Amino acid sequence: MPMPWTYRHASREWRAFLDDVRDYAGLETDNVAYTAIQGVLQTFRRRLTPEEGIAFAQVLPAVPRAIFVEGWDLATKPAGFGTREDWRAEAKALRPHHNLTPDTAVEAVARALWRQVNHIDLQRVVARMPDGSESFWSVPGAAPEELAVRIV
């Protein structure tokens, strides 16, 4: 079997994802973008069972997949979905003394994700997730061409 594309090109894929988040969120550094990505992915993860989380991780590029599962306490019960404002606050609460995550982080990470994944796979897996999952990964106001998969 050939090596999966996401492993062969993990560095290029990650660089494109990180750059998209930086650009969409108006961030100045990779470190700030990384914290925003980690905060958003962990915020979503907290709302899933381990089985749901692994199914979601399967459609992620290699590095976001690793960030998504890193440090997951599988015994923790899923949180309720809440609102977009709850998600923003939770993402910004990661490392609160070093977190410059903007209010647009959830949307910026979602936009970058759509540009990196197979849309059919992401839609299929998110549709099977708890209520609120599709809203979490939606990008209000984005035109379809803005979310088109980008080949890196």
Annotation: CATH topology of 11-71+78-147: Globin-like (1.10.490)
* pTM, to two decimals: 0.95
Can you give the pLDDT of all 152 residues of the chain as single tens digits?
A: 788 888 889 999 999 999 999 999 999 999 999 999 999 999 999 999 999 999 999 999 999 999 999 999 999 999 999 999 999 999 999 988 878 889 999 999 999 999 999 999 999 999 999 999 999 999 999 999 999 998 76
Domain boundaries, the chain: 11-71+78-147
String of b and e for 68-103 (b: at least 16 CB within 10 Å)? bbeebeeeeeeeebeebeebbebbbebeeeebbbbe
